[in-house]
Amino acid sequence: MSNPNKAKGTRWETEVRHYLNVVLGQYVDHWKDAAYPWRDPHDPDNVTRPAQIGARDVGDLHARPFVLECKAEKGIRLADYVRQANREAAHAGYPYGVAIVKAPRRPVGDGYAVMDLETFAQVLATFREADGRAQ
């Protein structure tokens, strides 16, 4: 890849995807050595990189029910990232957009998941509704 900033962004997207799939148990044990990393390649809960089709960007990663917009930039512009994540979630037909921002010189798990308060309120209401049904 000739553009070093694009390569850095792609590397961050890949690191986030692998991190989430490992933490969520979507990959087989020793997945780095396996021919194929997925426990079930058809599981809708796999965190995936969508193919970009058409003029409307649908986000960097899909982690149902979230569209993730991954950012690994020197200067951090949270408002811009969150707006972009929300717009791309709408394009993809997902209810929530989240910006995943790289913490400089820190491991992947120390990155930041950022959303606006409106999105957080929707997520909170959804969790509370689901919790109320379980009781």
Which residue range(s) make up the domain with 101? Answer: 4-134
Mean pLDDT for 112-123 is 97
The backbone region for 105, taken as left when phi is positive above 0, alpha when psi lies in -120 to 50, beta otherwise, is left
Question: Is a pLDDT exceeding 80 seen at residue 71?
Answer: yes
pLDDT given at position 86: 97
Q: What is the pLDDT of residues 10-55, one digit of tens each?
A: 999 999 999 999 999 999 999 999 888 999 999 999 999 998 877 8
- 111 neighbors 101 (Cβ within 8 angstroms): yes
Mean pLDDT for 90-113 is 96
Which of 80, 110, 113 has its CA nearest to residue 98?
A: 113
Greater model confidence, 78 or 9: 78
Question: Is a pLDDT exceeding 60 seen at residue 135?
Answer: no
Q: How many domains does the chain have?
A: 1
Question: Is a pLDDT exceeding 80 seen at residue 69?
Answer: yes
Helices (H), the chain: 4-23, 78-92, 117-134
Look up the pTM and report it: 0.91
- Rg of the chain in Å (alpha carbons): 16
Question: To the nearest whole number, what is the mean pLDDT of the chain?
Answer: 93
What is the three-class DSSP state of 68? strand
d(CA 66, CA 98): 7
pLDDT given at position 56: 87
d(CA 92, CA 95): 9
Tokens of 21: 């799939």
pLDDT given at position 134: 56
d(CA 28, CA 40): 9
